[in-house]
Amino acid sequence: MKNKKLKKLVGGRRLNRSFGGDAFIISLLTVFGLFFAFPLVFAINHAFKPMNELFLFPPNIFVRNPTINNFQDLFIIMSKSWVTFSRYIFNTVFVTVVGTVGLIIVASMGAFVVSKYKFPGSKIFFQGVIITLMFSGYVTAIPNYLVMARLGWVDTYLAVIIPAFAMPIGFFLLKQFIDTIPDTLLEAAKIDGAKEWRIFLLIILPMIKPAWLTVMIFSVQNLWNLRASNFIYSEQLKTLPYALSQIVTVGVARAGVGAAVTLFILVVPLVMFVFAQSNVLQTMASSGIKE
């Protein structure tokens, strides 16, 4: 009886599944997983290597005699800077938090309007957003600087924060996710007397939580690693990645410190991704589905 029901469910066709096929797929995925995890494993081990292990050839993947001297040297060097280490951290955290929160708010409101309200030029506007996904930041660097200079925002936080609000991938993912929300749900809310802001805050935002968590990861990764050297010139406003990059430029004498810097910059986006990876997968799976 179970076999007959199973055949009905699959349209009378046999399921092409076997133990050997499953084992092959799992083995293949394991190999790819190890391949993609290799840079992360190497970076973590590299940061704890003593100086004599850093220059071994061929290099060792795993550290033999782990040490925290690289991190101690890093904090000693930063403590001697005339701008305190905490100031660099504050600048990066401030830009990251404000830029990410602003992106989620602005992109969510824009995506809601474009997705659920048809107005003249809405399709052209969305196509323009898609086109901007093809342009690298290096292509738009000069126009961005000219705009910031004209607005008088050069050497201020605004030169970094305001452009972060207009991250195209954030708008795209949020719009595609909002498309999956049934219009009947919003119409029912309107019948009950809910206004646009109430619908947006109490219905749209909670339902697109996986999408804006994914956007948050992308934004934090971008802003946390941002040097902003094109717009920020005052040492008091420099970001942490810029300050750390200056330490590494001295040469091989600071190879261990450079390895510690790499891990220090990597850890925050990595931790965020680990805690929100399920939302990323859900967003990517739903980004092309419509009602």
Number of domains in the chain: 1
Contact 204, 108 (CB under 8 A): yes
44 lies in a domain?
Answer: no
Tell me, what DSSP letter sits at residue 68?
A: S
257 lies in a domain?
Answer: yes
Question: Average pLDDT in the 201-228 region?
Answer: 85
Question: Average pLDDT in the 26-43 region?
Answer: 86
Q: Which of these, 230, 209, 95, lies nearest to 155 by C-alpha position?
A: 230
The mean pLDDT value of the chain amounts to: 80
> Amino acid letter at 46?
H
Question: Average pLDDT in the 190-197 region?
Answer: 86
Residue 61 sits at φ, ψ, to 5 deg, of -75, -45
Half-sphere exposure of 286 (CA within 13 A, CB side): 23
Start-end of H helices in 133-208: 141-151, 158-164, 168-178, 183-191, 196-199, 205-207
Q: Please, what is the Cα angle at 131 between 213 and 113, to 5 degrees?
A: 55
Over the stretch 82-94, which tens digit does the pLDDT of each residue have? 777 788 888 988 9
23 lies in a domain?
Answer: no
Which stretch of DSSP H or E encloses residue 134? none
Looking at residue 241, which CATH number applies to its domain? Answer: 1.10.3720.10
Residue 249: is it exposed, middle or buried by C-beta count within 10 angstroms (0-12/13-18/19+)? Answer: exposed
With 60 as the cut, is the pLDDT of residue 42 above it? Answer: yes
Contact 214, 283 (CB under 8 A): yes
Question: Average pLDDT in the 59-75 region?
Answer: 82
What is the pLDDT, as a whole number, of residue 286?
A: 53
* Range of the structural domain that residue 122 is part of: 73-286
Question: Average pLDDT in the 139-149 region?
Answer: 87
273 lies in a domain?
Answer: yes
What is the pLDDT, as a whole number, of residue 2?
A: 45
- How many whole angstroms separate alpha carbon 189 and alpha carbon 204? 11
Question: Average pLDDT in the 143-160 region?
Answer: 89
33 lies in a domain?
Answer: no
Question: Average pLDDT in the 13-25 region?
Answer: 69
Grade residue 8 by pLDDT with cuts at 50, 70 and 90.
very low
Residue 240: is it exposed, middle or buried by C-beta count within 10 angstroms (0-12/13-18/19+)? Answer: buried
Q: Specify the pTM.
A: 0.76
Provide the sign of the torsion angle of the four alpha carbons 118, 124, 127, 131, taken in this order: negative
With 90 as the cut, is the pLDDT of residue 98 above it? Answer: yes
Over the stretch 256-274, which tens digit does the pLDDT of each residue have? 777 888 887 888 777 777 7
With 50 as the cut, is the pLDDT of residue 77 above it? Answer: yes
- 228: left (phi > 0), else alpha (psi -120 to 50), else beta? left
